[in-house]
A and B are shown apart, each in its own frame.
Chain A
Amino acid sequence: MNRRFSLRPLGALPLYLPALAVVATVAIPVGFVALRASEASWADASAWLLRSRTAELLFNTLALGATVVIAASAIAFPLAWLVTRTDLRGRGAVTLAAILPLAIPGYVMAYALRSLGGPLGAGQAMFGLTFPRLDGFVGAALALTLYNYPYFFLTFRAAFERLDPAQAEAARALGAGPGRVLLTVHLPRFVPAALAGALVVGLYVLGDFGVVSLMRFDTLSLALYASWSRMEQGSLLALMLIGLTVFLLLGEAWITARRARGATSGLGAARRPRPVALGWLNAPIWTGIAALVLLSVITPVGTTIHWMAEGAAHFDAGELAAAAADSLRAALPATALTVALALPVAWLARRGTRLARIVERAAQLGYAIPSLALALGFVVFALRTVPSIRETLALLWIAYAAHFLMLAMGPLRGTLPLLSTRHEEAARSLGAGPLGVLWRVTLPALRGALAAGAALTLLAILKELPLAKLLAPLDSRPLAVSAWAFADEALFADAAPYALTLLGISAFSVAAVLRMGREAT
């Protein structure tokens, strides 16, 4: 029933101000990128757009994105099937192993893979084998695939678990053979999962800076970084990246809107079908899983530890501590700001008004827009309005809030529906005023979700690279920037302490996500 809120929990202002702030944090960088790009003369801009270099960058970016999406889903789909539909032993351990690569930041993966090959590489030292040097397209595609396939794994696994055998049975009863059941009943159910995975992974590749820079593979993002000092070209590239992002988001929304939402009909959870017996297939399957874990988890961790040992002689704990302090100085205020914005915005989003939809879209866009484009927008904004904030952390904090708001809102979206307007009304009928409702019901009920959102955001910011690289003041060198800078100069042993610290932080964040996922179910 269409029932309005006739109870105002608070005045409207405390909700609308953060909402407008969120819209502004996304509108400002996009607006200033567009403004800067529009200042290019039409002749220059079209000449630049039409030159073969631009076409090459676009092609490289799309080819890399498509390769990673296809390769990652090709790994993830059979793996998801194995852990949900077969009698494979140790399905829990395999599941964990398939999620673990998320704990390895993309640039650490790239650093490990790149430092493995060649005569002076870690492979030579560890195994006595000289691996070919991995870089360029192959290196970038491999690193990004290994880092990203867990996203596909998670969505496919969820899709397999939702698959209701009753639907297949109904199709069989109606005369469809196993082949037709697979094509007409099962496969269509995976399209939403595949689309969701492709969107996440595609956007990641589009915005990736760490991997392509270390692998020396020219994409739009890397070109934007290279042309950082030439703002005009940079803003045109940024505009292209934003355009591609919007195109992907709209495309996904368009396809999802045209498809009916798949849901199990009837009551209760989907019944589990009898697991497929693997039999003699066990041996090749385990070989494959072992190879995957070796490549995606053991290699990066082992390589980093190897370089750590190599460089142990001149390890400087003071520098590491200074970098960690720089990271925290950037991350803690940014987390506080992000969570403070997330609560009113998530609250507002629940109302489903037009403003709520706009704010949600803004938060989504802030998360999806490639970091380099976002950073450029904020720099142009700073230079045009208050140049002095260019050299402060404030600009970085705001950029982080714009980028990670979605992340902080995630747990809130899960919890808010548990708290309906009925609870508010119940509290009011029991004598609590509007502020009493906020203080005694809303905030306590959301405490867990707020803490979870804060933890996710903090850990994500600590390992974030491109925004830190481009927006942190010159005298600040956070962990991620330090690891990347040494790796970029092939000083692999110097990069190791930072990379190892980041691995620890990432493992923490993945463990936190897994725990929350378990609690949610």
Chain B
Amino acid sequence: MKLTLEQLRVCYGETVALAGLDLEVASGEWLGLLGPSGSGKTSALRAIAGFERASGGRVLLDDDVVADGRTHRPPERRGVGFVFQEFALFPHLSAAQNIAFGLRHLPKDARAARVKRLLARVEMAEYADRAPSALSGGQQQRIALARALAPDPPALLMDEPFGSLDPALRGLVRERVVEALRAGGRTVVFISHDIHEAFAIADRIALLRDGVLQQIGAPEELYGRPTSAFVAGFLGPVNLIPGDAAGQRMSTALGDLRLAHEARGPRAAVVRPHMFAIDPGGVAVTVERRVFRGDRVELAVRSGSGAAWQVDLPTSSDARPGDTLRLAVAGAVWTVPSDGIV
């Protein structure tokens, strides 16, 4: 199923949660919605499901308009699955009965068979008769997923589906879920607060802020070629090093950098901590703080001109506070407009 949002607006009284969002999710695509809290990602997801009314714009499922400013198709007639962050299993029904909830249209035998198949698929067959309160978080998560998948919806919406699992469990459950879902070929839109999770499972990521779409694209694109300082900073630690661009090159406190794209005027180079390397011809910096992270060493350094940077070096580095290093960036760097950088 293809999902289309056109200039979608969602308001709560005076508060504008979503200010005209345009988004297209291709059939079978996995889209991750990211953004700080209050950015409108939950409102967007709930508007697609029909839990929120659109106060303007349109929502289309395939070519079917299900919401515009005036009409609103209720959620039960949209056929879109939803997995809640808190799972929201019905407390008075067993695991199997929860899964069967959306299968009323099936005859009894077919229903029982389908529930059984779904339970097996999420590896919960032996918990069929348990009450939700007698299940662990990970188990509840799997039942919630099976329940949403039971009516075989062509699109599935997930609001932080792994957010309330404890970190140790999270990776494992996620792998299984993604595997189970990919097989179906259905469209998935999910919200995540975990950037690495989104990188791992999304085909594309849409980053929102204050109800406005900031950038949309493949994870590699957003990470490597952000269009603003906000996007660059949201997706991971970054040094935004201001400078004056002149075509293919830019002069900065880190020396003369080669650019990955043509630019002119004041810009900021996007330098991730891991992009630094020790280079005898580089800029001299003083190490101020060192944090050992196991797979790398994080350094806080200061250049002669007073700029403070975050630098990751291999664990083999024995740089200590007070030491002087010479650093450079290998390869071409990406830049963003320098406005909004403090």
List residues of chain A with CB under 8 Å of any chain B CB: 1-4, 6-7, 418-420, 422-423, 425-434, 436, 440-441, 444-445, 447
Contacts and interface: CB of A to CB of B under 8 A. Distances in A.
Contacts of B50: 428-429
B127 interface: no
Contacts of B84: 422, 425-426
B75 A445 contact: no
Contacts of A7: 51, 74-75
A444 B79 CA distance: 24
B75 A4 contact: no
A309 to B, nearest CB: 49
A4 to B, nearest CB: 6
Interface string B22-43: 0000000000000001100010
Interface in B136-167: 147-148, 150-151
A444 B49 CA distance: 25
A440 B74 CA distance: 18
A432 B98 CA distance: 13
B12 A4 contact: yes
A429 B80 contact: yes
B82 interface: yes
A428 B75 contact: yes
B101 A440 contact: yes
A431 B53 CA distance: 18
B53 A422 contact: no
A27 to B, nearest CB: 30
Contacts of A426: 82, 84, 88, 90, 147
Interface in B162-196: none
Contacts of B105: 431
Interface string B70-100: 0000111011111010101011110000000
A4 B13 contact: yes
Contacts of B13: 4
A452 to B, nearest CB: 14
Contacts of B203: none
Given A420-B86, A425-B75, A426-B84, A431 B151 contact: yes
Interface string B41-78: 01000000111110000000000000000000011101
B102 A423 contact: no
A445 B51 contact: no
A21 B88 CA distance: 32
Contacts of B51: 6-7, 425, 428-429
A434 B77 CA distance: 12
Given A423-B91, A445-B90, 4 more contacts: A425-B88, A426-B90, A429-B75, A430-B148
Given A429-B49, A440-B101, A423 B88 contact: yes
A420 B53 CA distance: 19
A3 B12 CA distance: 7
Contact of B76 (A4, A420, A432, A445): A432
Interface of B: 12-13, 15, 37-38, 42, 49-53, 74-76, 78-82, 84, 86, 88, 90-93, 101-102, 104-105, 147-148, 150-151
20 contacts: A2-B12, A2-B15, A4-B13, A6-B51, A419-B91, A420-B86, A422-B84, A422-B88, A425-B82, A425-B88, A426-B90, A426-B147, A428-B75, A428-B76, A429-B78, A431-B76, A431-B104, A431-B105, A433-B74, A444-B92
Contacts of A445: 90-92
A387 B119 CA distance: 64
Contacts of A419: 91
- The interface residues of chain B, by DSSP majority, are classed as loop
A397 to B, nearest CB: 30
Contacts of B42: 1
Contacts of A2: 12, 15
A437 to B, nearest CB: 9
A445 to B, nearest CB: 4
A433 B76 contact: yes
Most buried by A among B15, B78, B88, B102: B88
A429 B90 contact: no
A429 B50 CA distance: 8
A441 B82 contact: no
Contacts of A1: 37-38, 42
A445 B93 CA distance: 8
B38 to A, nearest CB: 8
Given A4-B12, A420-B88, A429 B81 contact: yes
Nearest to A427: B101
Contacts of B53: 6
Given A2-B12, A4-B12, A440-B101, A447 B92 contact: yes
Contacts of A418: 91
A144 B178 CA distance: 65
* Nearest 8 CB-CB pairings of A with B: A430-B102, A422-B88, A428-B75, A445-B92, A429-B82, A426-B88, A431-B76, A428-B76
Contacts of B52: 6
Contacts of B78: 429
A430 B52 CA distance: 16
Most buried by A among B15, B38, B75: B75
A390 B2 CA distance: 67
Contacts of A4: 12-13
Contact of A429 (B86, B92, B104, B148): B148
Nearest to B78: A429
A445 B101 CA distance: 14
A312 B50 CA distance: 71
Contacts of A433: 74, 76
B273 to A, nearest CB: 33
A292 B38 CA distance: 59
B9 to A, nearest CB: 14
Contacts of B82: 425-426, 429
A7 B50 CA distance: 9
